[in-house]
Amino acid sequence: MPTAPGSTVTGSPLLQARGVSKRFGAVEALTGVDFDVDAGEVVALVGDNGAGKSTLIKAIAGTQPGDEGSYFFGGQEVTVHSPQDAARLGIATVYQDLALCDNLDVVANLFLGLEQVESGPQSVLKVLDEIGMEQRAIELLKSLSVTTLRSVRTEVVALSGGQRQSVAIARSLIADPKIVILDEPTAALGVAQTYQVLELVKRLRERGLGVIYISHNIADIFAVADRIVVLRLGRRVAAFKTADTTHNEVVGAITGGGVPGEPAPDQNGGTP
């Protein structure tokens, strides 16, 4: 059954976006979209190509700020005009291209731009704390139950798709975020690799993080999401509790075709 607009599974949302709109010339990519996610919750953001999913997450991540809309983090109104604003709030994003450096090893990729330096007199020379970074990398991957990597000194170019995705997600946690946005994390992965990534998403929830999960794969969404928010043509058209809905209902909301015998969801995520 669709949930009421703005409601969550776990209570007061960690992040609330209200009335987000974005235009590109004459094209209105988003129109008054509401979205929220709570700590320890996975919210799937779904819709067909061109529905506005990427535009919404870029607005939340600050890479492409919305033209209109309000944002609340922990109940306090905030501004998100840049990726730096989002990072300061504790929002990390893993885009579909992963942005990994193939010629660097896992440790170097995890700490890229956040390198640790040794303390003491030699710190004036900015000597990288290779041992400290390696140890933290091992501990982080272990805490996420990433067990398929033989060594954190393996170059990323030699990793499988699932391993690369795991490294990208682990890198997003280096700065201890509160929310992680995952853009199509299982795209082009095999069955075993997809399973590994979905298990990793569940562990992010267990760590108390809010997770925004963008995907076209309905089976993956039902495997990990607590709630599902549907966009169509730049508008929020439905929101469901995963436990209370079906694949057909979600597909019907995405396509606009509805489900036989069910009332069609309205643009605010409720029913007439």
**Model confidence over 64-76: pLDDT tens digits?**
999 999 999 999 9
Same domain for 270 and 186: yes
pLDDT digits (tens, 9 = 90+) for 135-153: 999 999 999 989 888 899 9
Same domain for 216 and 108: no
Specify if 185 maps to a domain: yes
Domain boundary among 114, 149, 176: 176
Helix (H, G, I), strand (E, B) or coil at 155: strand
Specify if 155 maps to a domain: yes
Residue 20 has pLDDT above 50, yes or no: yes
Helix (H, G, I), strand (E, B) or coil at 24: strand
Same domain for 209 and 75: yes
Compute the average pLDDT of residues 206-220: 96
Per the CB < 8 A criterion, the answer to whether 207 and 223 are in contact is: no
Same domain for 13 and 133: no
Structural domain containing residue 163: 100-176
Task: Tell me the H-state helices in the chain.
Answer: 53-61, 83-89, 106-110, 130-143, 161-172, 191-206, 218-224, 247-255
Compute the average pLDDT of residues 76-102: 93
Same domain for 49 and 121: no
Mean of the per-residue pLDDT values of the chain: 88
Residue 120 has pLDDT above 70, yes or no: no
Residue 111 has pLDDT above 60, yes or no: yes
Residue 167 has pLDDT above 70, yes or no: yes
Please spell the DSSP secondary structure of 66-128, one letter per residue.
-SEEEEEETTEEE---SHHHHHHHTEEEE-TTTT--TTSBHHHHHTTT---B--SGGGGGT-B
Residues 6+ apart with CB under 8 A from 52: 22, 29, 30, 33, 231, 233, 234, 235
Q: What tokens were used for 202?
A: 């569940």
Same domain for 184 and 170: no
Rg of the Cα atoms in the chain: 20
Residue 57 has pLDDT above 90, yes or no: yes
Q: CA 182, CA 193: separation in Å to the nearest integer?
A: 16
User: Does residue 262 come out as left (phi exceeding 0), alpha (psi in the -120 to 50 range) or beta?
Assistant: beta
Q: Which of 53-62, 76-85, 142-151, 259-268 has the lowest mean pLDDT?
A: 259-268
Q: Which of 86-100, 120-134, 192-206 has the lowest mean pLDDT?
A: 120-134
Domain boundary among 151, 176, 201: 176
Same domain for 256 and 210: yes
Domain boundary among 129, 152, 176: 176
Specify if 95 maps to a domain: no
Tokens 């597909």 belong to residue: 251
Compute the average pLDDT of residues 250-260: 80
- How much of the chain exceeds pLDDT 70, in percent? 87
CATH number of the domain bearing residue 252? 3.40.50.300
**pLDDT value of position 12:** 67
